[in-house]
Amino acid sequence: MTDSQQCMIGLVFYPGMTSLDIVGPQQVFSGLPGVQIHRIWKTLDPVKTDDGMMVLPDTTFENCPRLDVICIGGGIGQPAIEDDPEILAFLRTQGSTAKFITSVCGGSIFLAKAGLLNGYRAATHWGVRERLAALGVEVSTKRVEIDRNRITGGGVTAGIDFGLTIASILYGEEIAKMIQLLLEYNPAPPFDTGSPEKAGAELVAKALEIWQVMASPYLVAAN
């Protein structure tokens, strides 16, 4: 895209979404020239993210313009609403015209349920790889998977790598490199446990237990 073109990027917000899934790419996109970011939900009421922060959508499903990039993330609140017909219909509608159909983390499950990953390879959070495969998607274990116009990221923090990758595709490598510099994305994780392979089976099992406990209030509320 050139500087003179307005690029419409839509980020779907929902209760219990993981804020870092969305804020990683959002921070990257906000550094791009001529990008307009839409934060989209059913209403403009505040939405509580899964780390407890209240955020305000600025666009509704109903009044959202045609997007160039549609993106949805994962979150602890996701399983409770991933069959929501309004969300899936919105994804389908935008997906029929968007240049790029994208997700971070468990957001790929929404895309799959909307039928947007049939015949595509997609990345997701390691904890839902089996669920994504069960939806007929070829699961990638890459941090960012590009399959034609489907661009999908792995879990949570992969959203930063994902955002920089999309920035580079939309506006070229130089601006993406500059944004990486401005975000000082020169990571030095304090531990070497960022993937299930590195963490080992015992830590994976314990982490999944914590995840279940965190997710239970959302599932109770939904049933």
Binding site for its own copies (CB under 8 A): 18-20, 23-24, 26-27, 29-31, 37, 39, 46, 50-56, 58, 105, 125-127, 143-144, 154-158, 160-161, 164-165, 168, 173-174, 176-178, 180-191, 193-196, 198-199, 203-204, 206-207, 210-211, 214
Would you give the DSSP letter of residue 80?
H
Which residue's CB is nearer to its own copies, number 54 or number 220? 54
The minimum distance between CB 105 and its own copies, in angstroms, equals: 8
Query: If DSSP codes are grouped into helix, strand and coil, which group holds residue 90?
Result: helix
Q: Do the strands 59-60 and 35-41 form a parallel or antiparallel pair, or are they unpaired?
A: parallel
Which residue's CB is nearer to its own copies, number 85 or number 189? 189
The minimum distance between CB 154 and its own copies, in angstroms, equals: 5
Active site residue 7: no
The minimum distance between CB 47 and its own copies, in angstroms, equals: 10
Which residue's CB is nearer to its own copies, number 60 or number 168? 168
Which residue's CB is nearer to its own copies, number 93 or number 169? 169
Distance between CA 59 and CA 195 in Å, rounded? Answer: 35
Sequence-distant (6+) residues with CB within 8 A of 79 are 215, 218, 219
Distance between CA 139 and CA 126 in Å, rounded? Answer: 10
Distance between CA 93 and CA 61 in Å, rounded? Answer: 10
The minimum distance between CB 62 and its own copies, in angstroms, equals: 19
Sequence-distant (6+) residues with CB within 8 A of 89 are none
Residue position matching structure tokens 């495969």? 133
Give catalytic residue positions.
Answer: 105
